[in-house]
């Protein structure tokens, strides 16, 4: 039986639809433990491909007969080899085309809602890495927020819906992924905005993103209001779009809050984080729909694959917004930090324009989960 490739798009669809399937991940154990294709109804078996070179007979009893088996490795080469061996044993198997490398880069656009004047808001879900970026569309114009380095996806999407990208924003200087913002802005001659307090060391031109500098998209009343909300980085800025959506960047997530240590000292910024979450955000309408820049676990996805929740609901349910005692809050966000994202210092330097790694190196720097939250 021939082995069939499965695209990242097909796998993303299965995961979003909570389909049940079986993954045989043939990367080494450390890589698997660190990061894998997540899904609520996925079963896993991790056997490194180098333990299967002499044959797959030994693992056959561990594979399901009644379920689809998807073989996954880092780039795809080893998964094809193992899939072919399994196929020769009579199993129907497929492999993940492009491997985890492609999975890390897959973007799934999901419409989050209509804007009051007929415009639309789209969320681009980077399902393998947990990054979320946004496109606001109104009257033939588009704004991008927190774009990833897969710049073609946004530019092609804009073209498809006949919109011109006029403004590109980053809510903060990212440490977990390489921003595509500057590159897109250059390619389509759009304005690139960065919070100046995060941009002290950048080596390129940008517009300072500061509170009060509302930006119009289209000729209607879609306002992007920068709201200074430091804590994850010193410059972190949120947006309120159309009086309805709160783009919270890496400050507030669905089931966690931003970590304050990736660009400086946790001890120094935890106070800002507290102030933003407990004073500035608490003063906003509970009806605002929070759209964060990341998700951490698949349970944070809605039925349609989008990631969003009302601010009022998060105020009740997000543990990070419900720690009355400031000392306890400090301890939670500084005392118990998860490992830092892969290559985060190099990623920050790339986003400042200080270094320009080639595509292959950029891919490698971004391997693994985003790790921007504390829970």
Partner 1 sequence: MMNSDKVLDAKGLACPMPIVKTKKAMNELESGQVLEIHATDKGAKADLTAWAKSGGHDLVNHAEEGDVLKFWIKKG
Rule CB under 8 A: say whether 210 interacts with partner 1.
no
- Considering the complex, what minimum distance in angstroms separates the CB of residue 28 from partner 1? 4
Part of the chain binding partner 1 (CB under 8 A), chosen from 74-82, 158-166, 170-178, 302-310: 74-82
Query: Judged by CB under 8 A, how many residues of this single chain contact partner 1?
Result: 16
d(CA 213, CA 335): 36
Part of the chain binding partner 1 (CB under 8 A), chosen from 11-19, 24-32, 281-289, 318-326: 24-32
Q: Which is nearer to partner 1, 51 or 316 (CB)?
A: 51
Q: Which is nearer to partner 1, 74 or 86 (CB)?
A: 74
Rule CB under 8 A: say whether 265 interacts with partner 1.
no
Rule CB under 8 A: say whether 50 interacts with partner 1.
yes
Interface residue with partner 1, options 20, 31, 139, 266 (CB under 8 A): 31
- Considering the complex, what minimum distance in angstroms separates the CB of residue 277 from partner 1? 38
Interface residue with partner 1, options 84, 210, 349, 364 (CB under 8 A): 364
- Considering the complex, what minimum distance in angstroms separates the CB of residue 365 from partner 1? 11
Rule CB under 8 A: say whether 118 interacts with partner 1.
no
Rule CB under 8 A: say whether 53 interacts with partner 1.
yes
- Considering the complex, what minimum distance in angstroms separates the CB of residue 83 from partner 1? 12
Rule CB under 8 A: say whether 78 interacts with partner 1.
yes
| Buried b or exposed e, range 232-271, using 16+ CB within 10 angstroms | bbbbbbbbbbbebbbbbbbbbbbbbbbbbbbbeebeebbe
Rule CB under 8 A: say whether 28 interacts with partner 1.
yes
Part of the chain binding partner 1 (CB under 8 A), chosen from 42-50, 83-91, 230-238, 254-262: 42-50
- Considering the complex, what minimum distance in angstroms separates the CB of residue 138 from partner 1? 43
The Cα-based distances of 165 to 182, 186, 342, 353 in angstroms read 12, 11, 31, 22
Q: Hey, how many other C-beta atoms are within 10 angstroms of the C-beta on 358? A: 8
Interface residue with partner 1, options 55, 64, 77, 335 (CB under 8 A): 77
Rule CB under 8 A: say whether 30 interacts with partner 1.
yes
Q: Which is nearer to partner 1, 29 or 57 (CB)?
A: 29
Rule CB under 8 A: say whether 59 interacts with partner 1.
no
The encoded tokens of residue 343 equal 């290559």
Rule CB under 8 A: say whether 49 interacts with partner 1.
yes
Rule CB under 8 A: say whether 75 interacts with partner 1.
yes
Active site residues: 73
Interface residue with partner 1, options 6, 37, 69, 81 (CB under 8 A): 81
Rule CB under 8 A: say whether 74 interacts with partner 1.
yes
List of residues contacting partner 1 (CB under 8 A) = 28-31, 48-51, 53, 73-75, 77-78, 81, 364
């Amino acid at each position: 039986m021939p082995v069939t490739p499965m695209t990242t798009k097909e796998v993303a669809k299965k995961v979003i639809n909570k389909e049940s399937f079986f993954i045989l991940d043939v990367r080494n154990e450390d890589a698997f433990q660190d990061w894998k294709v997540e899904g609520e109804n996925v079963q896993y078996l991790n056997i490194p491909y180098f333990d299967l070179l002499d044959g797959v007979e030994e693992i056959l009893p561990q594979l399901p007969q009644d379920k689809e088996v998807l073989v996954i490795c880092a780039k795809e080469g080893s998964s094809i080899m193992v899939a072919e061996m399994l196929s020769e044993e009579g199993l129907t198997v497929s492999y993940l085309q492009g491997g985890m490398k492609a999975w890390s880069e897959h973007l799934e656009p999901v419409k989050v809602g209509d804007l009051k004047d007929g415009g639309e808001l789209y969320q681009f879900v980077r399902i393998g890495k947990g990054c979320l970026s946004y496109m606001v569309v109104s009257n033939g114009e588009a704004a991008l927020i927190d774009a990833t380095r897969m710049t073609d996806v946004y530019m092609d999407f804009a073209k498809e819906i006949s919109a011109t990208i006029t403004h590109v924003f980053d809510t903060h200087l990212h440490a977990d992924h390489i921003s595509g913002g500057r590159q897109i802005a250059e390619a389509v001659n759009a304005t690139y905005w960065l919070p100046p307090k995060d941009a002290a060391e950048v080596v390129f031109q940008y517009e300072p993103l500061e509170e009060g500098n509302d930006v119009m998209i289209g000729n209607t009343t879609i306002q992007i209001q920068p709201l200074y909300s430091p804590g994850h980085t010193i410059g972190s800025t949120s947006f309120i779009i159309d009086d309805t959506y709160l783009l919270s960047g890496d400050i507030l997530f669905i089931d966690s809050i931003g970590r304050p240590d990736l660009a400086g000292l946790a001890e120094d910024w935890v106070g800002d984080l507290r102030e933003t979450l407990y004073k500035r955000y608490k003063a906003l309408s509970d009806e605002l729909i929070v759209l964060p820049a990341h998700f951490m676990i698949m349970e944070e996805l809605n039925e349609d694959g989008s990631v969003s929740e009302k601010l009022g609901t998060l105020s009740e349910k997000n543990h990070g917004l419900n720690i009355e005692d400031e000392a306890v809050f400090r301890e939670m966000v500084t005392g118990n930090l998860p490992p830092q994202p892969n290559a985060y210092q190099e990623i920050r330097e790339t986003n400042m324009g200080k270094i320009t790694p080639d595509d292959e190196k950029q891919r490698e720097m971004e391997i693994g989960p985003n790790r921007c939250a504390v829970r």
